[in-house]
A and B are shown apart, each in its own frame.
Chain A
Amino acid sequence: MAGGAKPEFIVIGAGEAGARAAMALRENGFAGKVTILGDEAHRPYERPPLSKAALTDADEPQAAFILTPDRLDEHGIAHRANAPVTTIDRAAHEVHLETGERLRYDRLLIATGARARKLALPGATPESVHYLRTFEEARALRSRLTPGSHIAIIGGGFIGLELAASARARGAEVTLIELAPRLLARAVPAAIAGVIAARHEAAGVRLLLGTGIERIEAVGERHAIVLSTGERIVCDGIFAGIGAVAETALAERAGLAIENGIAVDERLATTDPDIFAAGDCCSFPHALYGGRRLRLEAWRNAQDQGNAAAKAMLGGSDAYDAVPWFWSDQYDLTLQIAGLADEGSETVTRDLGDGARLDFHLAADGRLVAASAVGPNGKIAREVRLAEMLIAKRAMPDKAALADVSVKLKGLLAG
C-alpha cells in the first residue's frame, strides 16, 4: 500500500461475506476507510430466512439486517446501497460505479455472491418462472403462498425443499419436480435424502422424482408445466431452484483468473495481490481436502471467508481451512452437513433417537471427512458440531465408537 494517505479498502457486495469482512477489518484494527458497495436497496441482510421465516411468519416480514445503522456508524463503515460496480480498473486502483463515479482503493474485496440459475426451457419467462434470492423476491413469493393455491417447484435441492415446506406451512398445495431419481443427490447420502422425501410426502407435497419437463405454457392467468410424461400441471406459481451461478463477470472483465468462480489462493487472494474474493463467488483450494478447489454456496462459509479475507487484506498469511458446513430447515427437521461427504468411501451411522440419524463419512485411510445428519435440531446440532471438530483434527476415530450412541463424541475429540 502507498504510504502517507489513509488506506482505503472497498468491499464489492453487501451480502454476508462483504458485511462480515467490513466488520472484521475493524475488529482486526484497520483504521483506514472502509466502504461496502451493494447492488440492492438495503443494508446487508441475512438471506437464509428468505426461504423460511420470511415466508412463514404470520406478520409481514422485515429483512433481517446484519448491521444496524448505529453499528455501521460506530465502526466507521460506509455502506452505499444501489451502487452497482461496472468496472475494476486494476492499473489505476479504482472501481467505477454505474453513476460514472470512480472510487480509489488500496485493497479490494470482491464478495459479489451468486445469482439463481435460470431455467432454460420453452415458455420459461420472467412472467412464468420465479426465483428466490433477494428479499423482494421473497416478498413476491410470499404473496402467492395462499391457502389452496397451487405452487409448482422445479428442483429438489435446498432452496426448493425449504420453499416446499414453507408453502405447505402457508396452506398452499405443492408439486415438486426433480429430474434426478432422488432429492439432494449431490449434497447428502441417499438414506438422509429418503428421510427428507418421506417428510415432504407426509406433509402432502407431491414429489415427482426422475421427472423431466418439456415446456411451460400460459393458461389464462395461470401456467402449466408439461412433463416429459405428457402430464400437464396447472398451477398458480412456478418457482425454480436449480442452482446458483457465481457472479464473476466483474472479475472476469478485470482479467482476474476464473475457475468455477473467482480463483483465489489459500489466503483468498486473487491473481491480483491487492484484490481478494470471498463467499459464493470464489473458488479456493481447501487444505483439509488435499488442496481440492471448492466453491461453496453457504452462509457459514460466507461469514468465515469474510473474516479470513479481512485478515488477508491486512497482510495475514493464514490459509483458509474451515470445515465446510451447511444446514437446512424443513418442517420440524434440520439437516446439517459438515465436511465433504463425497470424499468418503465408507459410512458409519449413529442412531441419535427420535428419528434422528448421523452418518459419518470416512475416507479409505479411516480419516473422518464428513458428517451428515437429519432430525430435530436439538438432537443433531451438538453432535454435528463435535464431528466437525473431529474432521478439522483429521481424526481417524474408531468405527465402533462412532456407531455407538453411548460413546460421547467429545471424548473422541480429546483422544
Chain B
Amino acid sequence: MHTKSWHSVGPSLDECIKCNICTSYCPVAAVTDLFPGPKYVGPQAQRFRENGQPQTPDHSVDYCSGCRVCNEVCPTGVKIAELNARARAQIVSEKGIPLRNRLLGRNEMLGKLGHIVPGLANFGLHNSFSRVMAEKVMGIARQAPLPHWSTDGSFGDWFKKTQAQRLKSDKKVVYYHGCATMYYEPFIGKATVAVFEHNGYEVLVPPQNCCGLPMLSNGEFGAAADYHQNNINKLLVYAQAGLDIVGTSTSCTLTLKEEAPELLDMDSDNAKAITNATWDIFEWLRERHELGELKTDFRQMNMVLPYHAPCQYRAHRVGKPAMDIMALIPGIDIRESHARCCGIAGTYGYKKEKYQIAMDVGAELFDFVADQGGDVEMTACDSETCRWQLEHGTDLPSRHPVEILAAAYGLYDLEKRQLL
C-alpha cells in the first residue's frame, strides 16, 4: 500500500542512523514495555515489511501514539510517525479493523448522532453502567475523558441563527471548525468568530466534513481518503479565491495541510491548494500581528496559566504561536509546559489497553501543572482531546487559547464559556 511515493515517507527510512535518540525521547516507550520504541517500529521494522507476506510481521507499532516527539528529535529527518501510521494502515488492510477503532475514527458521525437528542445521548453515554459496558463490549476505557454533546445546539446552528448579526467585510476568512467544535464545544467556535470579527474579518463557514485524522490514526486509509477528497471539493473554491482557511483544532489543520496528502499520496494540484491555504488559528493570528494588523486592545488578565502546546504543533513546524500571541496580553503569567505529550494522542488514550499508558505519559504534564501552585484556576491547550485529558488528569478546567484571547478582548466569559 502506498509505496509509490519515492521522495516522501517510505524512503525516509533510509535516513535512519540508528542513533536511538527517538527511543530515548519517546514518551510511550518510557512508560511501557509494550512499545519497543519509534526506531524499532519505524525505520527498523520497515525493512521487514512487504505486502503479501505469509503473516503480518508486527503488531507493536499499534502502541505508537503518533505524538511525533520522535520526528521532532530525529537528527536526520526520518518520518517515523508517518511510517508508523502507514504500517498500521497495512495491518488494518490485512487483518481488518476492530469495531471500536472504526467507531473512534467516526467522530463526526457520533457527533451528528448525539446531536439529535444531546441530553439523552449524554445521559446514555456518561453513566457508569454504559461506560462499563462500553469497556467490556468495545474496549473503550471506562475512565477515559469522553466529551459531552452540546445541549445548547451545535456551532452550525448558532452560526446560522446569528447570521444577521455577523460582521460583513471585504476582509474574509474561512473557518474550519472541525467536529469537536461543531458538536461538543460550540463555544470555541463562537469565541473564534468573535476574535475574527473583532479584527475586522467576515467569517465564512462553508460546508465541510471531518478531516479524517481519526481514521488515519486508526489505519483506515481508504475512508480517510474519501473524507479528504470531500473537503478538497468543498473548500477548493475558497482556496482558489485566495482566502485563508483557518482552523481551531491543531490536529484538523495539520491533517488538511500535510498529514492527509502525505500519508495518502494525494498530491494533486487541488490537494496542494488546500495545503497552502490552510492555517492553524494562532499561526494565522501571529501572521496578522507580524503584519501589524492584529488588534491588541487587551484588558488586564491577572492569571497564572499553564499552557501545553499540543503535539501536532511539532508537525506544523511553526513554533508555539499561541504562546507568542497570549504573551501580548497584559498581566497574564503563562507557564510553558515542556512535557512531551499529554498522553491521549487523539483516540489512543480512549482504548482500554492504552488508557493507563496514556495517563502515565501524561503524568509529566499533570505534575507540571500541579507544580505551578494553588493560584492556577485553569490550563490552556489548543487541541480538544488534549484539553479533555488535561482536565481528566488535573481536575482543573482547560481552555483553548482562542478562548483566552476572546476573553482578553472582553468578548467572552472564560468561566461560563459564552460570549458576553
Asked whether A and B interact, the reply is: no
Residues of chain A having any CB pair with chain B under 8 Å: none
Residues of chain B having any CB pair with chain A under 8 Å: none
